[in-house]
Amino acid sequence: MSRHRHDDEELWGNDPVPSEVVDASWLLEGLTVPQRDAVTHRGGPLLIVAGAGSGKTRVLTRRIAHLLATGDAKPWEVLAITFTNKAAQEMRSRVRDLIGPEADRMWVATFHSACLRMLRAHADVLGYERGFTIYDAGESESTVDRIMKEMGLDTKRLTPRSVYAQISGAKNEMLSPGQFADLGHGQSDPHRARVAEIFRSYADRLKAANAMDFDDLLLNAVRMLRTDAGVLERYRERFQHILVDEFQDTNTVQNELVTLLASTHRRICVVGDSDQSIYRFRAADVRNILQFSERFPDAETVMLEQNFRSTQVILDAANAVIEKNATRHPKRLFTEGATGEKIRRYRAGDEYDEARWVATELQRLRQRHSLDYGDMAVFYRTNAASRVLEEQLLRAGVSYRVISGQRFYDRKEIKNALAYARLIVNPRDEASARRVINEPKRGIGDVAQGKIGTYAASRGISFAEGITFAKEAGLSGRALTGAVEFAGTLEQLRALNNDLTPGSMIEAIIRETGIADALRDENTDEAKGRLENLGELASGASRFDSLLEFVEQMALVSESDNLQDGTGAVSLMTIHVAKGLEFPAVIITGLEEGNFPHSRAMDDPDELEEERRLCYVAITRAMAHLSLTHAWSRTRWGQHVDNIESRFFREIPAELFEDATSTAPTRRASFRDEESGFLGRRTEFTDGRAFGTGTAPPARSTGAELLGLSPGDRVVHDRYGAGTVRSTSGDGPRSRATVDFDFHGEKQLVLSLTPLQRAE
């Protein structure tokens, strides 16, 4: 028997000394009747439906302490599972405060850490050595990348990140490579078949390396328990009491794990709220909590509906929204506290009007209610919405911090797009050139860049200028092709800068450099969010007279961002990040159809229910002051779009609102803010942001790609004059041509963006 298994048995204890049974009645002090019922329940499955702010953590820790204090459970017989290490540490600490150091002998862990602990003791059941390696997401993606290259696949068209995301999703559904392929329902699906092939090779590669990824920790723990009845029986005997927090966030494999462990003794307690299930995009399955009583028909259900956080007005609004969902545990939150003030509602003309009002409202809350900025939060549905809010808070001098996310101008995709913009207005910008020369991937790695740098230094030119001499610098193969393409794209974009507005230029950068294609090919929620951020950047650029002015102003804004920090700052975050938090004052922005609820949910009843749960979560974060806003118009990829207010507004009773809109919204013919230095003009690309699309910018064509050009044709360019077509490639919007102009030399052109006509 191995040392690992001896350690495991020693930890369990063969002849445990019974704990002294003490009077545990004091653990019930201060609890409501439903809370007390949840703490004292014994004998079988228990479902605790814990509404927002109902004290579920207190109930869960008191229940564990009560089990131990009464002698109904020994510490080593308790398995308490949470979703984060922080939550696990807090739970252990609170139980220790209640009953002392005996609590340290419990297993209080996340799903992943509990599974890892079991696998370290018994991985040999599956043919692994116990010292197996754990791959993080980066290492897993790199492994997929190597497999795809070995298979000769184009990693630009089918990206390793998107493939790894699909593999991870399959594992969370407990699907093997073969089962994943079969989901095509017998129909030929080349894409699914190819991903399944990569999935199979990836699984083989990890097994050969004695390695598991994070999804494997869960999946292999279940496989281990199913494979070895002896190991399963040992853990069932060991864990006589299983408690799971946030059960609405479990996925298929997590649900199967706890069911396996509890199916014999059935002493399982799950705590959660179907109304707060908002992680479907992470494979969370709300059906796990909704169907718990079907899986355990003898389960007792305790409803925790009394809220200890919010005023009744706020709870009434939350109840009104969530009761429209069909798939939920019916309940109605109430409080014995204050009724509270009405919800403030603001109807903005556009997103700038909305953001200025938010800044003013935060200042009002600080002055009238003596709140610190750290007591306030502003929520938005997607990350892209933060740009306008950040700008306006900076102008108003309101300190803020972006929670669990980067400031808008610190995001990678934004930095990359701005680097291209800087290269267009300053062809010698070395820092920008080095940042994006291989973004997206063009095969121009460190070695190739080193050759360009050496050549440029020897000729007394900048690195950026040296890119046009890639062949002379010694580049060859894919690196040379990539460098020529990169230089040609920059040259074409510089030519377009004379004709296009700044907003259109940012769109052209996003489209022609391949940034949009790379993100679209990933086909993940994260990639769609990044596309929305880029759309927001294009909308912001449309407010300026020139690309140079935009680039200069962005440098100032980015630097100003670094001045805002500290605990006395307003918290800006997406609603997903807000779950589990609470603030005395909350402002929820962007409540329009297509934004919140998100456009991707409009045709899917399940997604729409999740959007409503998201709204419920957002509302119930507020303790005393709540404001909701929407804008009658926004801009998506520079296109002016009128909106209608979110259905969530209409679902909240009118008597709960106080209208904070002092005047009817008007559309401004121009925009000027002398104090901040921002200056712009009203056009079709004015003020705004992209939301809800998750798509590349719309194509705007000059029609030159429809000319049917061939080598030898004579053409005329608006700027370069007459020339002769030397070669053509591609088709449709991706058509390109090399033209030798009579007085300007050879140029590589993207035809759909080029003001080109046939010579008469």
* 53 φ/ψ angles, rounded to the nearest 5 degrees: 70, 20
- Catalytic annotation present for 182: no
As a whole number of Å, the end-to-end CA separation of the chain is 90
Is residue 621 annotated as a catalytic residue, yes or no?
Answer: yes
DSSP-derived 3-state class of residue 598 = strand
DSSP 82-115: ESSHHHHHHHHHHHHHHH-GGGGGSEEEEHHHHH
Residue pair 202/229 in contact by the 8 Å Cβ criterion: no
Q: Which residues pair with 740 in a beta bridge?
A: 724, 746
Q: How many CA atoms lie within 13 A of 713 on its CB side?
A: 18
3-state class (DSSP) for residue 325: coil
> Between 515-522 and 502-512, two packed helices, what is the crossing angle to 10 degrees?
60
Half-sphere exposure in the Cβ direction for 258 (13 Å, CA): 30
Rg (CA), the chain: 30
My answer on whether omega of the bond before 440 falls inside 30° of 0, hence cis, is yes
d(CA 736, CA 752): 8
- Taking alpha carbons only, the member of 305, 308, 374, 304 closest to residue 623 is 308
Bridge-based pairing of strands 639-642 and 633-636 is: antiparallel
Which residues partner with 673 through β-bridges? 678
Number of alpha helices (DSSP H) and beta strands (DSSP E) in the chain? 29, 24
Q: Where are the beta strands (DSSP E) in 131-177?
A: 133-135
Distance of CA 53 to the CA centre of its chain: 24
Cβ atoms within 10 Å of 305's Cβ, excluding its own = 17
57 is catalytic: yes
Q: Which residue type, as a one-letter code, is found at position 421?
A: A
| DSSP states along 243-258 | EESSGGG--HHHHHHH
Measured distance CA(371)–CA(394) in Å, rounded: 19
Active-site residue, selected from the candidate residues 215, 246, 521, 705: 246
Q: What's the one-letter identity of residue 695? A: T
Name residue 306's amino acid.
Q
Q: Which of 56, 387, 511, 647 is catalytic?
A: 56
Q: 32, 57, 695, 724: which is the annotated catalytic residue?
A: 57
Q: Could you tell me the two tokens for 660? A: 């904070």
Which string of DSSP letters, residue by residue, matches 655-717? GGEEE---S-----SEEEETTTTEEEE-STT-S----S--SPPPP---SGGGS---TT-EEEE
Q: How many alpha carbons lie under 13 Å from residue 32 in its C-beta half-sphere?
A: 17
Starting from the edge strand earliest in sequence, which strands make up the sheet with 657-659, in order?
400-402, 570-574, 376-380, 583-588, 622-631, 343-348, 657-659
For this structure, is 245 an active site residue?
yes
Helix, strand, coil percent content, the chain, rounded in steps of 5: 50, 15, 35
Q: Are 239 and 105 in contact (CB under 8 A)?
A: no
Cβ atoms of 545 and 419 within 8 Å: the answer is: no
Q: Which residues are catalytic?
A: 56-57, 245-246, 276, 621
